[in-house]
Amino acid sequence: MVFAMFSCTDVQPVKSQASSVERANSEVLQASGAVLRAFAARDGKSLAALVHPKKGVRFSSSAYVDLEKDIVFSAAQAAQFWKDRKIYTWGFVDGSGDAIELNPSTYVERHILDHDFLDSSTVSVDSDRARGNTSNNAAAVYPQGTRVEYYFSPVSGKGVAEFDWAALRLVFEKADGVWLLVAVIHDQWSP
Per-residue pLDDT of the chain (191 residues; tens, 9 = 90+): 444 443 334 444 444 455 667 777 889 999 999 999 999 999 999 999 999 999 999 999 988 999 999 999 999 999 999 999 999 999 988 777 899 999 999 999 999 998 888 876 688 898 876 566 677 889 999 999 999 999 887 665 555 555 667 889 999 999 999 999 999 999 886 65
**Domain 2-188 adopts which CATH fold?**
Nuclear Transport Factor 2; Chain: A, (3.10.450)
pLDDT in the model for residue 93: 82
Give the pLDDT of residue 11. Answer: 41
Q: Measured between alpha carbons, how far is 65 from 173 in angstroms, rounded to an integer?
A: 16
Residues 6+ away with beta carbon under 8 Å from 11? none
Adjacent-strand bridge partners of 180: 173
Q: Are 102 and 85 in contact (CB under 8 A)?
A: no
pTM of the model: 0.83
Specify the long-range contacts of residues 124-129, CB closer than 8 Å, at least 24 apart.
Answer: 124/148, 124/149, 124/151, 125/25, 125/28, 125/29, 125/149, 128/167, 128/169, 129/167
d(CA 54, CA 52): 6
Domain boundaries defined on the chain: 2-188
